[in-house]
């Protein structure tokens, strides 16, 4: 079962990126569904764009990824909704 956390990000506004809580070692079962806006209007990921996910864990570890360890892409986009799979390193 995939647990999906839904967020809305307005790319034109400065602010704190929302925090997402997840269960440690709950690998391959967490997705983020991010609705993208710009100035309150829907903003679609442009065709051919690349997406990288950056993270900060409670212990201060930081990282970035765009693929999962099995080589599959960690994200998909449909209109202004970006779906991101949380990689195992995020949940360790």
Q: What is the pLDDT of residues 4-37, one digit of tens each?
A: 889 999 999 887 777 787 777 777 788 999 999 9
Question: pLDDT tens digits for 57-72?
Answer: 888 889 999 999 999 9
Report the distance separating Cα 7 and Cα 82, nearest Å.
Answer: 10
Q: Which helix (H) or strand (E) holds 89?
A: none
Strands 62-65 and 53-56: antiparallel
Residues in the chain: 92
Decide: 54 and 64 in contact? Cβ < 8 Å.
yes
Q: Which of 26, 21, 29 is nearest to 1 (CA)?
A: 29
pLDDT attached to residue 89: 84
């Amino acid at each position: 079962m995939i647990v999906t956390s839904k967020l809305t990000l307005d790319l034109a506004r400065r602010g704190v990126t929302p925090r997402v809580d997840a269960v440690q070692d709950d690998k391959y079962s967490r997705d983020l569904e991010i609705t993208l806006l710009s100035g309150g209007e829907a903003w679609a990921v442009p065709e051919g764009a690349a997406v990288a996910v950056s993270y900060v864990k409670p212990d201060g570890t930081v990282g970035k990824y765009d693929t999962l360890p099995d080589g599959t892409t960690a994200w998909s986009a449909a209109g202004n909704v970006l779906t991101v799979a949380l990689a195992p390193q995020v949940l360790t």
